[in-house]
């Protein structure tokens, strides 16, 4: 479609298998023109800091359990910074610890998705973010 918005998203995921599965689910969303991937919280914060050289991501899929800096701390830092404060964050977790979800909720996480990802649930969340799935 001519004139459609290019949508970039950031996936913060350290597990290659989870990254593969997530990319597979995201293929149903042709509006996602670019999926950038970083492997830990330090890389995520660096990516978001250097964003002045590129269009910032439309949203972030953020794993909670990350090396070096965990997902809660990444989200906390994003909310402190003016340039990243309003970027929607969808938290990916294999944890069912209420404390983690409560902390992320207080920090303004847009949605939570349980791993392994469910394509139907992902569709619901991305549709709420204004990103339509491919028609069946």
Is the separation of the CB atoms in 72 and 100 below 8 Å?
yes
CA-wise closest residue to 121 among 91, 95, 99: 91
Q: How does the average pLDDT of the chain come out, rounded?
A: 87
Which class does domain 7-128 fall in? alpha beta
pLDDT at 68 over 80: yes
Query: pLDDT per residue over 20-62, tens digit each?
Result: 999 998 988 888 989 999 999 999 999 998 755 677 899 999 9
> Mean pLDDT over residues 77-81, rounded?
94
DSSP code of residue 56: P
């Amino acid at each position: 479609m001519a004139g459609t918005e290019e949508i970039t998203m950031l996936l913060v995921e350290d597990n290659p298998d989870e990254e593969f599965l997530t990319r597979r689910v995201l293929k149903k969303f042709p509006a996602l023109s670019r999926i950038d991937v970083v492997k830990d919280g330090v890389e995520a914060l660096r990516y978001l800091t250097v964003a002045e050289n590129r269009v910032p991501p439309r949203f972030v899929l953020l794993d909670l359990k990350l090396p070096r800096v965990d997902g809660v701390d990444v989200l906390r830092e994003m909310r402190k910074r003016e340039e990243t404060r309003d970027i929607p964050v969808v938290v990916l977790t294999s944890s069912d610890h209420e404390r983690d979800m409560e902390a992320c909720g207080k920090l303004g996480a847009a949605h939570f998705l349980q791993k392994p990802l469910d394509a139907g649930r992902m569709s619901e969340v991305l549709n709420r973010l204004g990103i339509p799935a491919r028609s069946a």
